Chain A
Amino acid sequence: MPAVSFQSVTKNYSTARGSFQALDRVSFDIEDGEFFGLLGPNGAGKTTLISILAGLVRATSGRVVVRGHEVQGDYAAARRALGVVPQELVFDPFFTVREALRIQSGYFGVKNNEAWIDELLASLGLADKANANMRQLSGGMKRRVLVAQALVHRPPVIVLDEPTAGVDVELRQTLWQFIARLNREGHTVLLTTHYLEEAEALCSRIAMLKTGHVVALERTSDLLKAASTNVLRFKLDGPLPREFEGKASVTGRIVQLPAHDAHEIEQHLAIIREAGLRVEDVEIRKPDLEDVFIDVMSAERREGVTA
């Protein structure tokens, strides 16, 4: 039995300008114990899909099943199995951190949960903030509390919707160590993120969404293997030659170009030489998930990609 099963999930929103399709027959399964990444640009439908999973939004058609429990018909059992960290940095200003966690436990009917609450506080670096009011916490600290609230009932399936957006390096490391530990202990993890190096490092399998469609669904290692091209990377002092426009990805002075073989690398360097430009820090590297992501997103929509 899969931990989560999306079955032909479609969501239409009616807006003032007409109907808008956020998701179009999205289908895939997440296996028990997987660390699964859901990637896609803004507006691809990631958060809508997660909201349907969490019962915050209803699908127009299709169904979502969590460990055998359909999220609408059998919502209580489905929600017990889920721990969702919402994307928005929300908090209840009336309570302290410990109160918030006790109350969240209580909603799930979990009694005598102090030992687990203490462990969550310690693991997420919140122990000294336990009695602080939520209003007094920094953004990063509030994010940690959101994670703790999602985990307070020990859900077998953990859903993290961009948990590291705007979060400093220290918290990211604390968070990933803790989530990786929970995953080793058997929890299934569904992660959406814009940090592709995180997804590459953590997720064993990845789905990519684009305008409401699944455009890739593979093991992370297979995705990287399938990318046949290498990447030529250098720093350029001068304008980008016209021949590279549309092909190169440029970040400040750093230019990255796909290069299949030695011949293509020579061609690229010849163009630079002829333009009379100087380059520094030249390197050739293997493609990473970001290259694959850009490749998949820029490709024409591939029909018929399903589980």
Chain B
Amino acid sequence: MTGWQTLLYKEVLRFWKVSFQTVAAPVLTALLYLLIFGHVLSDRVKVYDHISYTSFLVPGLVMMSVLQNSFANSSSSLIQSKITGNLVFVLLTPLSHWSWFVAYVGASVTRGLCVGLGVFIITVWFTHVGFAAPLWIVVFAVLGAGILGSLGVVAGLWAEKFDQMAAFQNFIIVPMTFLSGVFYSIHSLPPFWQQVSHLNPFFYMIDGFRYGFFGVSDVSPWLSLAIVGSAMAVVGSIAVHLLRIGYKIRG
């Protein structure tokens, strides 16, 4: 293995060794959401005419799990290594900032997709979900995981304490995923909140992803792709830049 492949392997091994916590637990959480919300709301909410609420919920839950776990992987790995000091083992190596980026984000995407696949396999038992445009599913899943993995790198470099990391996760990442249309179509919202939702990039990740299953969405998947692709470019550039200058990791 070359240097960046080793770092990617190490980062994957890191979460895989504690997969109960990093993979199984989020799958169970998503299943609980499906059972509870699906049960409570299935008779009251109708989003699209030919799709049951439970079916509508599945892609949203899958994508939410992909996003949250991709973020959690790179951010928690970096903050733990910084606080325990073992990041020095990577800092002493000849690995370039691009190697760091590919390895940390690559491992995040891997974990995000593992959890997403797990959530899909479990939840699809309870309802029927189609595959109207499979390529869109893959593209949005990978891009969404990549954006959140990159954001996790940024947060992991920035945070100096677990408390700051928890704030980033609970006050930014979680609200933005919950308010992005996982549990509802934004067309059900008052006009003002529809406008606000259009400013949330997470909305486009989930809307585009859902299009891949049902062939219908709130906005055109091409618009979503443009916005999600741009977000990847912006967040990825910031992460690469911070790694290049050694932000908060090289004195």
* Chain A interface residues toward B at CB < 8 A: 51, 54-58, 75-77, 79-80, 82, 84, 86, 88, 90-95, 99, 103-109, 111, 149-150
Asked whether, in the complex, the Cβ of A57 is within 8 Å of the Cβ of B94, the reply is: no
- 8 Å CB contact of A58 from B81, B84, B251: B251
B88 sits at the interface (CB 8 A): yes
Q: Which residue of A lies closest to B245 (CB)?
A: A58
How many B residues are at the interface, by size bracket? 20 to 34
Q: Tell me if B89 counts as interface (CB < 8 A to partner A).
A: yes
- Decide yes or no whether B3 CB sits under 8 A from chain A: yes
Q: How far is the CA of A103 from the CA of B89 in the complex (A)?
A: 10
Q: How far is the CA of A58 from the CA of B85 in the complex (A)?
A: 18
* Residues on the B chain within 8 Å of A75, using CB: 94
Known: A77-B94, A94-B17, A111-B1. A86 touches B6 (CB 8 A): no
**With A57-B251, A58-B251, A107-B3 as given contacts, are A94 and B13 in contact (CB-CB < 8 Å)?**
yes
What is the CA–CA distance of A86 and B91 in the complex, to the nearest angstrom?
11
Q: B90 interface residue, CB < 8 Å from A?
A: yes
5 extra interface residue pairs, beta carbon distance < 8 Å, beyond A94-B18, A107-B7: A88-B88, A90-B88, A106-B3, A106-B7, A109-B3
Check A103 against B251 for contact (C-beta < 8 Å). no
**A111 shortest CB reach to chain B, Å:** 7
Query: Is the Cβ of A107 less than 8 Å from the Cβ of B93?
Result: yes
Q: How many A-B residue pairs have CB under 8 A?
A: 80
Please give, as numbers and ranges, the residues of chain A lying within 8 Å of B81 by CB-CB distance.
92
Contact flags (1/0) for B27-56 with A, using CB distance below 8 Å? 000000000000000000000000000000
Q: Give the complex CA separation of A79 and B6 in angstroms.
A: 17
Cβ–Cβ contact B14 & A107, under 8 A: no
A103:B88 contact, CB within 8 angstroms: no
Across the interface, do A91 and B86 meet the contact criterion of CB distance under 8 Å?
A: yes
| Complex contacts, B6 vs chain A, CB 8 Å | 103, 105-107
Q: Which residues of B contact A51 (CB under 8 A)?
A: 251
Given the interface pairs A58-B251, A103-B6, the reply to whether A79 lies near B88 with Cβ below 8 Å is: no
**A56-B251, A109-B3 as given contacts; A82 in contact with B92, CB under 8 Å:** yes
State which of A84, A90, A111 has its C-beta within 8 Å of the C-beta of B86.
A90
B residues 80-122 with Cβ under 8 Å of A?
81, 84-86, 88-96
Q: What is the CA–CA distance of A57 and B2 in the complex, to the nearest angstrom?
A: 25
Q: How distant is B64 from chain A, measured CB to nearest CB, in Å?
A: 27
Q: What is the CA–CA distance of A149 and B89 in the complex, to the nearest angstrom?
A: 8
Known contacts A51-B251, A108-B3; is-contact A79 B93 (Cβ 8 Å):
yes
Return chain B residues, CB-CB under 8 Å to A93. Answer: 84
A190 to chain B, nearest CB (A): 14
